[in-house]
Amino acid sequence: MSNDPRFFAFLKERIGLDVASVGEAIIERAVRQRSQIVQAPTPGEYWQHLQSSQDEQQALIEAVIVPETWFFRYPESFATLARLAKARLVDIKQMRALRILSLPCSTGEEPYSIAMALLDAGLAPHQFKVQGMDVSPLSVERARRGVYGKNSFRGGDIAFRDRHFTEYGDGFHIADRVREQVRLQVGNLLDPALLANEAAYDFVFCRNLLIYFDQPTQKQVFDVLKGLTHVDGVLFIGPAEGSLLGRHGMRSIGVPQSFAFSRQGSPQLPEPAFIPTPAPTPPRSTAPISAKPRPFSTVSAHVLPIKAAPSDAGTLLSRIATLANEGKSAGARAACEDYLNSHPPAAQVFYWLGLLSDVAGSALEAQGYYRKALYLEPQHPQALMHLAALLESRGDSAGARRLQARAARSERADSESKP
């Protein structure tokens, strides 16, 4: 079953997933799990069952999609959104509500963060509405419940939780005033009829999705996103996807760490008067971060689990991880330099430097750092994935495929080595 290409083709057709972007082992593992559950002992029997059952088709997709996200990921994006939203309301003379789209919305953390950010910025409920959409019915149902565990609140600044959530025995329940601003539905970005009768959106959030597609599908999805975004609107993306949008004529609006692009370039923004969360509270211990991004999750710049290290090195690595995960690029870069000045070179540190350079738009510098990380650790999964995306965006499809194949072989070896 592990080498059966029919399952790869099915996922490519249904959700656009490029197997090379995640490695065959992830898909193979999901197929094995589903085969055991439905008691289909051979690949042919499971394939027949899959073709005859829409429920099973969705179950396989759910097994591959492993959502991981948290509230106010990349805070500057939400701060920038608040400033743009105020300016946009002035431009349209407040004649209608702002329209904002979040897809994939996963389990709801992103669309609810958007709503909280705008409410905290002083926008009235009638001035904006948020649409959340995801291919996963299970994720959408969890978002509708609006109940979250501690893993959804990461970083040192979570005071927004006191304003917008109530804690009960089963978790933190989001306030009705936030929930009422968000409409959630199941939808597939590859569906040609997606939101066909809807007006264009002023702001669209689509993070860390394009990197899981091959180049033709990226172009297809970009055309859909461009059609969904108002001509004067702004598209928010993941940190590794900026160069992909640049190839299609979108330009950064010029706000560091916002990952925001438009057709027009830099808009006129009011002076910053709002931060989505208040002044930082004492740092909390953060939950472990997934070592490998999963398809269609809203996470891109993950950090790897920190291995045992001397106390000073371990402390510095932890500080780099915290700063990187909170989107504090300058501090994270300085911490990386501190590490390299006082400790032997480490692949993870060069990976962070590559990611920080990638985010800043320094593609050649990022490429150099990713290659240094791979020199020290040839199968570093994040460095392989991000360097492949970078090469693809610069037209080196052959180089990108070689790196994706390396990542797939590494994933397969890891999977086979486990009991």
Residue range 74-129, pLDDT digits in tens: 888 999 999 999 999 999 999 999 999 999 999 999 999 999 999 999 999 999 99
- pLDDT of res. 366: 82
Confidence (pLDDT) at 402: 78
SS (H, E, C) the chain: CCCCHHHHHHHHHHHCCCHHHHCHHHHHHHHHHHHHHHCCCCHHHHHHHHHHCHHHHHHHHHHHCCCCCCCCCCHHHHHHHHHHHHHHHHHCCCCCCEEEEECCCCCCHHHHHHHHHHHHCCCCHHHEEEEEEECCHHHHHHHHHCEECHHHCCCCCCCHHHHHEEEECCEEEECHHHHCCEEEEECCCCCCCCCCCCCCEEEEECCCCHHHCCHHHHHHHHHHHHHHEEEEEEEECCCCCHHHHHCCCCEECCCCCCCEEECCCCCCCCCCCCCCCCCCCCCCCCCCCCCCCCCCCCCCCCCCCCCCCCHHHHHHHHHHHHHHHCCCHHHHHHHHHHHHHHCCCCHHHHHHHHHHHHHCCCHHHHHHHHHHHHHHCCCCHHHHHHHHHHHHHCCCHHHHHHHHHHHHHHHHHHHHHCC
Indicate the length of the chain as a whole number. 419
104 in a domain, yes or no? yes
Same domain, 115 and 234: yes
- Give domain status of residue 173, yes or no: yes
Q: Is residue 231 part of a domain?
A: yes
Same domain, 355 and 382: yes
Is 25 in the same domain as 142?
no
Adjacency order of strands within the sheet including 201-205: 182-186, 128-134, 98-102, 201-205, 229-236, 260-262, 251-252
* One domain, residues 83 and 189: yes
Identify whether 244 is part of a domain.
Answer: yes
Domain membership flag for residue 192 = yes
Would the pTM of this model clear 0.75, i.e. be above it?
Answer: no
What pLDDT, on a 0 to 100 scale, did the predictor assign at position 278? 37
How many domains does the chain contain in total?
3
Residue 172 located in a structural domain: yes
What is the Cα–Cα distance from 135 to 65, expressed in whole angstroms?
9
Confidence of residue 285 (pLDDT cuts 50, 70, 90): very low
Question: If you average pLDDT over residues 180-185, what whole number do you get?
Answer: 97
Tell me how far apart the alpha carbons of residues 351 and 367 are, in angstroms, rounded to a whole number: 10
Q: Among 262, 278, 296, identify where a domain stops.
A: 262
Looking at the fold, whether 227 and 118 belong to one and the same domain comes out as yes
Return the pLDDT at 310: 45
Q: Per-residue pLDDT for 287 more than 50? A: no
Residues 240 and 132 in one domain: yes
Q: Do 147 and 45 lie in a common domain?
A: no
The answer on 172 and 209 residing in a single domain is yes
Q: Examine residue 104 and say whether the peptide bond preceding it is cis (omega within 30 degrees of 0).
A: yes
Q: Are residues 250 and 353 in the same domain?
A: no
Q: Which residue has the higher pLDDT, 275 or 327?
A: 327
State which residues form the domain around 12.
5-64
pLDDT band at 18; cut points 50, 70, 90: confident
Residue 272 forms part of a structural domain: no
List, in order, residues 6 or more apart from 359 with CB less than 8 Å away.
239, 242, 257, 259, 301, 329
- Which of these three, 225, 246, 262, is where a domain ends? 262
| CATH number for the domain harbouring residue 338 | 1.25.40.10
| Tens digit of each residue's pLDDT (9 = 90 or more) over 194-244 | 888 889 999 999 988 887 787 788 888 888 888 899 999 999 988 767 767
* 110 and 239 both lie in a single domain: yes
Question: Residue 249's domain is classified under what CATH number?
Answer: 3.40.50.150
- Considering the domain architecture, whether residues 95 and 56 belong to the same structural domain is answered as no
- Do 87 and 10 reside in the same domain of the chain? no
